[in-house]
Amino acid sequence: MRQVKINGVYKHFKGNYYIVVDIARDTETLEEYVVYRALYGDNELWIRKLDDFLSEVDHEKYPLIKQKYRFELAEIKDEK
């Protein structure tokens, strides 16, 4: 099963990048959510259900998208 990397930078299938801040739980349902910050614009903070964050792209709705998952861990290389 895929896991979320805290402080990992993820690419959304539509092209933007986000950094995962943490995993949080709903106080009533105990459902897990990913807390992540946009790495563009106003750097807004977002939450999404963990299962949704890890889900595959709906390729029927987005047939031209090559990325398999909604969010994929980005490979960031050191420039040194």
Taken in order of first residue, the domains within the chain and their CATH numbers are 9-73 (2.30.30.320)
What is the C-alpha end-to-end distance of the chain, expressed in Å?
A: 33
Note the pLDDT tens digit of each residue in 3-12. 999 999 999 9
Residue 2: predicted pLDDT: 85
pLDDT of residue 80 exceeding 90, the answer is no
The DSSP string of 7-44 is: T-EEEETTS-EEEEEEEEE-TTT--EEEEEEESSTT--
pLDDT of residue 1 exceeding 80, the answer is no
CA 37 distance to own-chain centroid: 9
Q: What's the angle, vertex CA 59, arms to CA 58 and CA 65, rounded to 5?
A: 110
pLDDT of residue 79 exceeding 80, the answer is no
Note the pLDDT tens digit of each residue in 16-64. 999 999 999 999 999 999 999 999 999 999 999 999 999 999 999 999 9
Residue 78: predicted pLDDT: 75
Q: What is the CA radius of gyration of the chain?
A: 13
